[in-house]
Amino acid sequence: MALLVQKFGGTSVGSIERIRNVARRALASQRAGNDVVVIVSAMSGETNRLLGLAHGVTQVPDAREMDVIAATGEQVAAALLALAIHAEGGQARSLLGHQVKILTDGAFTKARIKTIEGSKIFETVKKGQIAVVAGFQGVDENGDITTLGRGGSDTTGVAVAAAIGASACEIYTDVDGVYTTDPNICPSARKIAKISYEEMLELASLGAKVLQIRSVEIAMKYGVPVHVRSSFSDAEGTWVTSEDKTLEDVVVAGVAYDKNEARVVVVGVEDKPGVVASLFGQIAEKNISVDMIIQSATSGRGQRADVTFTVAKTDLARARPFLEEIGKALGAKELRYDEEVVKVSIVGLGMRSHAGVAAKMFKLLADEGINIQAISTSEIKVSCLVAAKYTELAVRTLHEGFGLSKA
């Protein structure tokens, strides 16, 4: 008899009929001999409806009150699922963030979980009931309702699984697993049977949307096996687990891309110690994350250099007036912006023991005439910034070139 956590996303509970389907699935797992804890997101569209109400009242809503409003989406979904389980002949009880209780810090709209009490959940499953926990929400030390940010129900699922020592956390979604790359732009993409936490973390960070990054971090930290699978079929999905020997054989596990990058070139800053540090120090103070960075000397004339870096496209409008100001202060000639870029990445644990992976990536892209504008690497990934128009070509080329395409 195992203790199982099952997390269902917004599309999985997007209608009364789908909620019934989730109820049947959870009951089937229970009847198969498991103690079952279900984590639910709000019905799809509901969170946006609720946030729309708040924005109808004021342009800049207070974060504390936003969370009070947003948390109702999961509250309703959890109770509806409990009712659906009753209707299918089972027993269930909804539990909210403050009831469980899921204690977070006080960072409204993007809170982080500190601790989770397991007693209410254990009490519930011991009675033979399915515990239906509202995802995405917690409570801070003042008893205020908090939310974990978009995709936060994944985090609730994995964190609850860790807290109660569940044998696994199943993440039910509208795709049937993690793919070697986005099947929408690369038809030969394959479902991955098993992937390591480290690789999953890189893929999620580099643009793959199937799991929230924070949830993978928690799964890795506590060693919770995560099973990403479809809520509309019984097929096995993708297991995200600790690396083991069988994983080592794969050099590249997946190809990711991220269109939310914008390139900024600060042209002709003084090339002396402290200038670049000052530039990035001031950007960081404004809470703007910089991703890739290249400093290149200009063509000889004196002590001037160009600094190229990327920021999130969604941050650019906010960052731009501020960047202009810093540029001026540092004596830059001008600033250039390019939003027509994409970051293409390869990820794989095997890179650690295989030389030449990055070089092979550069050659594959060059052979297709794709110019690389910036590069960043880590122990298990290589990312290249290229013109956005090459997105599909670059992804397919790398997917094929590293042997990921279907046999």
Q: State in angstroms the smallest separation of the CB of 15 from its own copies.
A: 9
Would you count residue 56 as binding its own copies (CB under 8 A)? yes
Tell which one of 7, 18, 25, 93 touches its own copies (CB under 8 A): 93
CA distance 397 to 400: 5
Tell which one of 16, 32, 297, 359 touches its own copies (CB under 8 A): 16
Q: Which stretch binds its own copies (CB under 8 A): 77-85, 284-292, 351-359, 361-369?
A: 77-85
Please report, as residue ranges, which positions from 118 to 147 form the binding site for its own copies (by CB under 8 A): 143-145
Please report, as residue ranges, which positions from 57 to 76 form the binding site for its own copies (by CB under 8 A): 57-58, 61-62, 64-66, 68-69, 71-72, 75-76
**Residue located via tokens 């389907």:** 21
Would you count residue 39 as binding its own copies (CB under 8 A)? no
The count of chain residues that interact with its own copies, using the rule CB under 8 A, is 36
Would you count residue 50 as binding its own copies (CB under 8 A)? yes
Would you count residue 82 as binding its own copies (CB under 8 A)? yes
Would you count residue 83 as binding its own copies (CB under 8 A)? yes
Tell which one of 3, 21, 51, 86 touches its own copies (CB under 8 A): 86
DSSP 8-state class, residue 303: S
DSSP 8-state class, residue 79: H
Q: Which stretch binds its own copies (CB under 8 A): 86-94, 108-116, 239-247, 305-313?
A: 86-94
Instruction: Give SS3 for 254.
Output: strand
Q: State in angstroms the smallest separation of the CB of 124 from its own copies.
A: 11
DSSP per residue, 137-194: EEE-TTS-EEE--TTHHHHHHHHHHHHHT-SEEEEEESSSS-BSS-TTT-TT--B-SE
Would you count residue 321 as binding its own copies (CB under 8 A)? no
Burial category of 313 from C-beta neighbours within 10 Å (exposed 0-12, middle 13-18, buried 19 and up)? middle
Burial category of 4 from C-beta neighbours within 10 Å (exposed 0-12, middle 13-18, buried 19 and up)? buried
CA distance 231 to 173: 6
Structure tokens at 230: 């479809």
Q: State in angstroms the smallest separation of the CB of 131 from its own copies.
A: 13
Short-list 147, 280, 259, 262, CA closest to 214: 147
CA distance 379 to 346: 11
Q: State in angstroms the smallest separation of the CB of 360 from its own copies.
A: 54
**CB-nearer residue toward its own copies: 38 or 351:** 38
CA distance 167 to 227: 11
Structure tokens at 142: 């003042």
Would you count residue 38 as binding its own copies (CB under 8 A)? no
Residue 374's identity, in one-letter code, is A
Interface with its own copies (CB under 8 A): 16, 19-20, 50, 53-54, 56-58, 61-62, 64-66, 68-69, 71-72, 75-76, 78-80, 82-84, 86-87, 93-94, 96, 98-99, 143-145
